[in-house]
Structure 1
């Protein structure tokens, strides 16, 4: 039982030490990254929407 508490404490202390090494983005970087992600999502959504319409049109002509 004692060993499991030691390993849990060790896990959390090592995790905290790793989090201290992380370079967190500032507000401007975070805004830019968010806009890039949203733009990419919009592009991929529109791409697959157009692709779906095209494939649906081809299938309609075949059937």
Structure 2
């Protein structure tokens, strides 16, 4: 039990050392991640549609 208590005390100490991003940084990072995910989703959807059409043309 003492090891568990010590573990959580250490976790608390380490969490105080963490450099958390400011609100503006967090907003910028979130927008960057969302834009990247949307871009790659659209990109791979278009590539998938193109490959599907190519396969349909070959098989017909």
1:55 aligns with 2:51: yes
Q: TM-score w.r.t. structure 1 length? A: 0.88
Moved segments of 4+, more than 3 Å = none
Match of 1:11 in 2: 7
Cα distance per residue 1:7-35 (max 9 Å; x no partner): 10011011111111111111100110010
Cα distance per residue 1:2-60 (max 9 Å; x no partner): xxx11100110111111111111111001100100100101110111011011101110
**Unmatched 5+ stretches in structure 2:** none
RMSD: 0.7
Distance 2:37 2:49 in 1: 18
**Unmatched 5+ stretches in structure 1:** none
Q: TM-score w.r.t. structure 2 length? A: 0.92
